[in-house]
Structure 1
Amino acid sequence: MTEYFIDNWDPAYGASFEAAPVSQSTAQINTDVELPAAAWRPLTAPPTVRAPDVVLLVDGVRRIDATLWTREEDGTSHPGLAASYAAGVVRCDLRAGAATLAGTLVERGLFTTSPTATDIEAGSVRYGVRQMAGAPDPARLVPAVQGPLTALEVAISTSVRGESEDLLVLDGPLRNRRQLSRTIGYVKTQQSQYLDATLTKVVTALRPGERSPVFLMGTAWGGYSWYLRLPGPAGAPWAGIVRVECTTEIPAQEAIELADLSLVTLPRFASNPYKDPRAPQNLIPIAGLERRLRALLGDSRLLHRALTLAAARSTAVPAAL
């Protein structure tokens, strides 16, 4: 008889596990990093592992303020978009039980393939031009914002952390942020299946406070990875399960130690369903940081109006003398 489960996530945010059978990853996976595949089982952290005194959680947000087209002197047009993006860090002092906003950075950019584009002054806000090479394809513009946003996350993380070795938790995959030491990437939505059916059963059998063994992903942004289940109401097989990853620029044993550290740290920040539609995966400090960063981006309606006026000025015909 088929069993049914309701995903705890609000459907407006998609699903906590979005991988279809056809999305099985083709990446080379080494499942024998911590345990041989035949010996895989749910793991708990050794009793000697304690959460760090201070944890830094990092996130970034982006927003498209306007889409636009240029008109070149040769009669051609190029697509563009005006985007705002911000990154910030929350410093969680676990000993004091306090969380503070440790730093934020906000930038705006005009992304376009136009070779003649210049900055746009929209009232008191400047959108610095970020020229892109290649064909004038509008579909390339939105993904182009991710690079500058990632750079902003690295900059604020480095600035806040300084010379300390506090554990750094990045919301999302590490990608090209792997140079940050003592850092883990936190992936709350599962969009690919990396393990075969036998090992996937180990993952979906995890109880709160348990994790899978560490495995190695051979993707373009490959790294050590593991799954863990956060505390929360029972539900679908993937309810409360997140994937965590770290760089391969450290020994395997150090990655295993980070896996245990994440297991005694991340559950502390799990959100509650009555407060967050993406509970428990959307960590409480990250949710608060997202709200603050979106506020720092400014009023989207006012910015769109200012951009419209700036565009109108650029096309105005000068009065005859």
Structure 2
Amino acid sequence: MTTAFTVDPWDPGYTAALNAEALAELDATSAELDLDVELPAAGWRPVTPDPRTAPPEALLIADGVRRIDARLWTYAPGDAESGAGPTPEYAESGGEPTPAYAESGGEPTPAYAEPGGGEPSPGIAASCAAGIVRCAPGTPARLAAVEVSHALFSASPHAADITTTAARYRARRAPRPGMDDLILALQSHLTQLEVDLAIQHRAESAEDDLLLVDGPLRGRTHLPRTVGYIKTHHTAYLPSPQAATVSRLGPGQRTPIFLMGTSWRRHAWYVRLPAPSGMPWSGVVRCEASADLGLDALVSLADSVTHALPPLAGVDYKDPRAPQNLVPIGGLERLLRHRLGDARLLYRALRAAAARRGRPVPVS
């Protein structure tokens, strides 16, 4: 006796593309849904995009990567023996960072108090990069813009920029000192980096483009002609009858558009990319668009995106997250990780910068 089975092409080393518990509990969602946006909920069926709707003249794909270079502790400034008050780690002099030491008795005194003079605050030194790839029919994809940022995230009001021999980490305030809060501050900074890059690039280009951002549209709903692209499914938003429509999608088809609201509102639809597996949700991605768009604009946008995505689908012998991880996204991620700089070099530079303060190295 043999057992029939199918294999998910998504590499098991990554988080599952579809949370199996979510698939089993499709009715369990707290999101407010309007399923009647394009078709009545009772009449949901796979939608083949209108062939008269052309793909965008140019598809801009924005993505970002992040990396924690070191975990560290920041301390409150202490008064120098001269009574001059708190002194930052570095003072700007002639455009060059110069160690700011208070002279006392002919010996340089670190401007920061030793532990015990105030409660230390945890922080992270992180690197992130955002980029945009331009895809157009009949032409190779090309890198359109890239931006790299190094930053120190801390809830301490005393945190200051850290200048090392490898990079300068700009101090950025996190709302709270917990690690989750620090990482959330890092992600918010990366999202803003992507937004600023997209606005700047579009201001320099007059073409009729469509922007696809890797991940939910949260924080970017104000950008015109922009669609969020979600590769993994951690929450089951659709009730069982409509979720069954997702399972019936053929490659290059989409579900009807629906409106959902959690802590924010957006339109959404599911698209199936070409996939070799027969699993119910294999190759399925979710697209999100602004809640402010009218029906005609939404349908045109959804059809245009559904036309554009299948030719860009990843292939399993090149990408372990195929087909959801689009070829341009995979290439952009590799380039951006390279632009972050060598992690070992940055870590050593941070330790050296901490040691120059004349205190135990607070970097881990």
Verify same fold: TM over 0.5.
Answer: yes
* DSSP-derived class of the 1:176 partner: coil
Q: Indicate conservation of the 8 Å contact 1:58/1:153, yes or no.
A: yes
* DSSP-derived class of the 2:31 partner: coil
Q: Indicate conservation of the 8 Å contact 1:86/1:106, yes or no.
A: yes
Give the corresponding residue for 1:25: 29
Which of the residues 141, 144, 150 maps onto 1:102?
A: 144
Q: State the 1:75 CA deviation.
A: 2.8
Q: Indicate conservation of the 8 Å contact 1:271/1:280, yes or no.
A: yes
Q: Deviations over 1:56-75 (max 9, x none)?
A: 11101110000011233533
Q: Which moved more, 1:270-279 or 1:71-80?
A: 71-80
* DSSP-derived class of the 2:276 partner: coil
Q: Indicate conservation of the 8 Å contact 1:19/1:190, yes or no.
A: no
User: Alignment RMSD, CA only?
Assistant: 1.8
Residues 232/113 of structure 1: CA separation in 2 closer, same or farther (3 Å cut): same
Amino acid at match of 2:161: D
Could you list the runs of 4 or more consecutive aligned residues of structure 1 that deviate by over 6 angstroms after TM superposition? none
TM-score relative to the length of structure 1: 0.94
Which of the residues 317, 325, 342 maps onto 1:299?
A: 342
Give the corresponding residue for 1:130: 172
Give the corresponding residue for 2:266: 223
Give the corresponding residue for 2:52: 48
Q: Indicate conservation of the 8 Å contact 1:165/1:181, yes or no.
A: no
Which of the residues 164, 182, 196 maps onto 1:155?
A: 196
Which of the residues 244, 252, 257 maps onto 2:287?
A: 244
* DSSP-derived class of the 1:175 partner: coil
TM-score relative to the length of structure 2: 0.83
Query: 2 CA distance for matches of 1:304 and 1:78?
Result: 19
Residues 49/133 of structure 1: CA separation in 2 closer, same or farther (3 Å cut): closer
Q: Indicate conservation of the 8 Å contact 1:230/1:281, yes or no.
A: yes
Q: Indicate conservation of the 8 Å contact 1:176/1:221, yes or no.
A: no
Q: State the 1:138 CA deviation.
A: 2.6
> 1:65 and 2:69 equivalent?
yes
Which of the residues 134, 156, 161 maps onto 1:114?
A: 156
Q: State the 1:3 CA deviation.
A: 6.4
Give the corresponding residue for 2:233: 190
Give the corresponding residue for 2:95: none
Query: 2 CA distance for matches of 1:3 and 1:220?
Result: 42
Q: Indicate conservation of the 8 Å contact 1:212/1:226, yes or no.
A: yes
* DSSP-derived class of the 1:110 partner: strand
Q: Indicate conservation of the 8 Å contact 2:175/2:181, yes or no.
A: no
Q: Deviations over 1:1-60 (max 9, x none)?
A: x96432111111121112524683301010000001110000101121121231111101
Q: Which moved more, 1:16-25 or 1:227-236?
A: 16-25
* DSSP-derived class of the 2:49 partner: coil
Residues 281/126 of structure 1: CA separation in 2 closer, same or farther (3 Å cut): same
Gaps of 5+ in 2: 77-112
- Structure 1 or 2, whichever has the larger Rg, is 2
Q: State the 1:221 CA deviation.
A: 2.6
Q: Indicate conservation of the 8 Å contact 1:7/1:15, yes or no.
A: no
Q: State the 1:243 CA deviation.
A: 0.3
> 1:13 and 2:14 equivalent?
yes
Give the corresponding residue for 2:253: 210
Gaps of 5+ in 1: none
Q: Which moved more, 1:249-258 or 1:199-208?
A: 249-258
Sequence identity percentage: 48
Query: 2 CA distance for matches of 1:58 and 1:138?
Result: 26
Give the corresponding residue for 1:273: 316
Query: 2 CA distance for matches of 1:122 and 1:138?
Result: 23
Which of the residues 183, 191, 194 maps onto 1:142?
A: 183
Query: 2 CA distance for matches of 1:9 and 1:77?
Result: 43
* DSSP-derived class of the 1:141 partner: helix
Q: State the 1:264 CA deviation.
A: 0.5
